[in-house]
Structure 1
């Protein structure tokens, strides 16, 4: 293991230089970032720290008169890990200190109170005991774990912490505990029509609830509209006629597996490639966890980003047979340092994250050999990173049939095709390295490509 202390001074010097250069670029195109357009972030790149400081204040107030043993079990396990692993503890302290430096660059007029391992742990403990409210003027309240880590993620220390196996395992347990809470009826306190409820008039408009909620649900349950938990609301089912299946009887038409915004279309993808560089290439060995790689070498990838108000279930893009399904554990808050400070907590690193993050793999074998196998790869980004696959090996699925869903958190999706299967993509590929990350919107069930089907 590296000596973390010896790297601290060099890391801090590099951070100061990198921060000043990146800030100029960041401010120029901030308003067009995916996080702003998707509602993760305020319209100005400010005030995350003041919101976060409020969280820390509440967490420390709730802690008064209690001992460390009153932490949630998963958070207590993280505390014990850091207590007994000196080098990892030193690295986390470095990450927090560097995060304060990043904060001072971007929000110099606000107080930032995540200044120790203790305040970080109590903020995490506070977050996972609550469901995020609907507060459109403070977007990080809807994605609080991203808000907690956003400054730390773009640091030399954070670059290493969020790749550390031991830290990552404990963090995954913390997020699992939060997911369990958000699956429970207790989390319904924010699924109401109140001022901070996700069913109020503004949320109804902002989140296009008319496409999801039937009048019958509202009549039968005027308080929660039939939802059973926060996550039940988050991966709510859509009204069928709002997402028709294009080319339902035409095997040459490939449809989108999800609602979202196109991030990238890549052709002639390599078996292995450098993904931790500015270009964020796709490396099939990494993406597919070594599964069926030979079938996809030289093929195509289309990746899209799901915002908080998108439909979070995913459908089969072709008809065929489920050959294999699995969830690959991976990173959650790791982002590509070379992208510069990303106030959207990782959405600018989606190509990199496709190779390393927690992700699902659903392999579908088409009945048409000219299409061959297609891989549907839902990717968790930050927050809970929960991928639920709802089909089994051997199942016959039709184009447009539901395959699974994301629980609460950030999400991305890759569709991977064999070489020669796609004749033409019918969606626009965003310009690489442009200031705008706002690719074309795609709807689940909508046409995205035409194949060489005979």
Structure 2
């Protein structure tokens, strides 16, 4: 990982600064956050890193990261150490001088393997770093996307540092990341925006420090993510790691322009496809275990209500072929019955989601990018020829957290008129929200119009319902909107039938009704106001009831 060398060529001077000890597991442990500052060139800092690793490798688990100071005058070498109480006595305490010559030595084989495994342990290391920082009171609480990223800014920054390690870069970059690098380098405007979005500080006080230092670092972190699946954590969940890395850049003036460029989105599409390919392969099952960070651990099973789903408790990976297979797991039979199975007027929820918004009298074209989050049917439905029939109608929107069920179901019985996936943006956000724009819980209305989405049009058998449009929208890391194989124009669907799924991550959906169709919405479908506990609308439960169609009186 190249940060460039400072102007000084002197050997690094180091100073140990150790945080307060903290018990972070059932074992007797102490967490030590050791910071080494250097005014030397990158090569000298690398030597200091290796020397420090040699000193602690035989007795500890650790991860090491580096951050360049804003004025580029030095590097901050951060080493988070987890060791036994006895071994901790060998680590210098705050204010103790640490002579680099005293740390001279090479990393032994076991230590080197731990060092190379540091990236895989980024989340676990960050959790330990967070535990140390809690005791020193250095945390700033901010609200993150619910269930997507840690709600504490310092937790997320610790996670980022767990990935930004010296000497762990893959050579060469994955072809899709290399193509992205060439795109940025080859276009002066994109190169300008890419550098500016890292340099610009969002308006607001939630961003204490810069997470990314260079475009090169950003690309290397993206490259690293292509080879890992998300781990489970009760306190430091980073379920959308691309957002974890990029969200600072998303909410900047240059970032708004960069992530709306079609060429950038084409490159990001290829990157996310490559990651999805890994998540669909057997190597992604490394996190499908009953270990501490595994999705089959007792804590994880409770968090995702795994007992409600189909899985093999006797198999080490739960019977899942891949991470994506786990993510799109199905409910056990009978867990989600179809509401109003014999009543065609009952419209069911196509997804298991939290209600977000209900809008009536929607227009053909409106300012969907405004903070009022108006729906623009022509854009939402990608210019479909049926748009005019929905003008003046109703839109219901709800969002799925990463831990929700991610398959889609037909809201009504009828005939499929159209099923199409519309390419769109991947990390674009509504700039009207400023620094909060990267929070997917506030950009959903905007994303419904510009993000990659699957549009399903069903002509309901019940004439009181008529044509229904369901739009399934992938948000940020999520780009794979997949229709089930039988879902094509002319196909018949019964209410509650499976029609497709989101392949990884959180997402949102909209269902659009023609004017005068909805009599009322279920209580569970009504969005909660601020500070109220949100309601989870179960898939295939009642979403709304259609108004009975009036019949003309008989003559005579």
TM (norm. structure 1) is: 0.85
Distance change (3 Å), C-alpha of 1:337 and 1:314: same
| Aligned with 1:441 (options 506, 518, 536) | 536
1:56: how far off? 2.1
The equivalent of 1:255 in structure 2 is: 348
C-alpha contact 2:363 2:375 (8 A) present in aligned 1: yes
Does structure 2 conserve the Cα–Cα contact (< 8 Å) formed by 1:49 and 1:103? no
Asked if residue 452 in structure 1 is aligned to residue 547 in structure 2, the reply is: yes
Compute the displacement of 1:310 (Å): 0.6
If asked which structure has higher relative contact order (CA below 8 Å, sep 6+), I would say 1
* C-alpha distance after superposition, 1:231-281 (max 9, x if no partner): 000111111311111100100101100101000011111101001111111
Q: Unpaired segments of 5 or more residues in structure 1?
A: 1-26
Q: 1:254 to 1:30 in 2, by over 3 A?
A: farther
| CA distance 1:278–1:107, change in 2 (3 Å) | closer
2-side partners of 1:269 and 1:29: how far apart?
A: 37
Are residue 315 (structure 1) and residue 421 (structure 2) matched?
no
Give 1:333-348 correspondences, 5 Å limit. Answer: 333-342=427-436, 345-348=439-442
Secondary structure at the counterpart of residue 303 of structure 1: strand
Larger Rg belongs to: 2
Looking at structure 2, the residues matched to 56 and 240 of structure 1 have their Cα atoms a distance apart, in angstroms, of 44
1:190 aligned partner: 287
Distance 1:342 1:283, change over 3 A: same
Report the equivalent of 1:357.
Answer: 451
Cα contact 2:149–2:244 (8 A) shared by 1: no
Is the CA contact (8 Å cut-off) linking 2:185 and 2:191 kept in structure 1? yes
Q: Are the structure 2 counterparts of residues 445 and 294 from structure 1 closer, same or farther at C-alpha, using a change threshold of 3 Å?
A: same
Deviation at 1:293, TM superposition (A): 0.3
Question: 1:346 Cα shift?
Answer: 2.2
**Cα deviation, residue 30, structure 1:** 5.1
Q: Which residue of 2 aligns with 1:278?
A: 371
Aligned pair 1:61/2:152, yes or no? no
Q: Look up the match of 1:49.
A: 157
Match of 1:241 among 334, 337, 344: 334
- Whole-angstrom CA distance in 2 between matches of 1:284 and 1:439: 27
C-alpha distance in 2 between matches for 1:335 and 1:92:
16
Give the drift of 1:102: 3.9
The CA deviation at 1:399 is 0.4
Taking the aligned partners of 1:429 and 1:41, their CA distance within structure 2 comes to 25
> 1:417 maps to which residue?
513
2:271 corresponds to which residue? 174
Determine which of 219, 226, 230 is the counterpart of 1:132: 230
Judged with a 3 Å threshold, the aligned counterparts in structure 2 of structure 1 residues 375 and 437 are, in CA distance, closer, same or farther, namely: farther
Alpha carbons 1:128, 1:178 under 8 Å: kept: yes
Q: Is the 8 A contact 1:179 1:384 kept in 2?
A: no
- TM-score (structure 2 length as normaliser): 0.70
Q: What is the 5 A alignment of 1:18-97?
A: 35-36=145-146, 39-57=147-165, 60-63=166-169, 66=171, 70-97=172-199
Residue correspondence of structure 1 range 371-390 to structure 2 within 5 A: 371-390=465-484
Cα distance per residue 1:340-380 (max 9 Å; x no partner): 43386422110111111110001110112221111111100
Q: Equivalents in 1 of 2:151, 2:250: separation in Å?
A: 21
Report deviation, 1:192.
Answer: 1.1
- In 1, the alpha carbon distance for the partners of 2:223 and 2:320 equals 25
Structure 2: give runs of 5+ residues left out of the alignment: 1-138, 550-556
CA spacing shift, 1:273–1:159, aligned 2, 3 Å:
same
Q: Is the CA contact (8 Å cut-off) linking 1:359 and 1:377 kept in structure 2?
A: yes
In the comparison of the two structures, how many residue pairs are matched? Answer: 407
| Structure 1 residue matching 2:235: 3-state secondary structure | coil
1:404 and 2:506 matched: no
How many angstroms apart in 1 are the aligned matches of 2:218 and 2:350? 37
Q: Is the 8 A contact 2:429 2:443 kept in 1?
A: yes
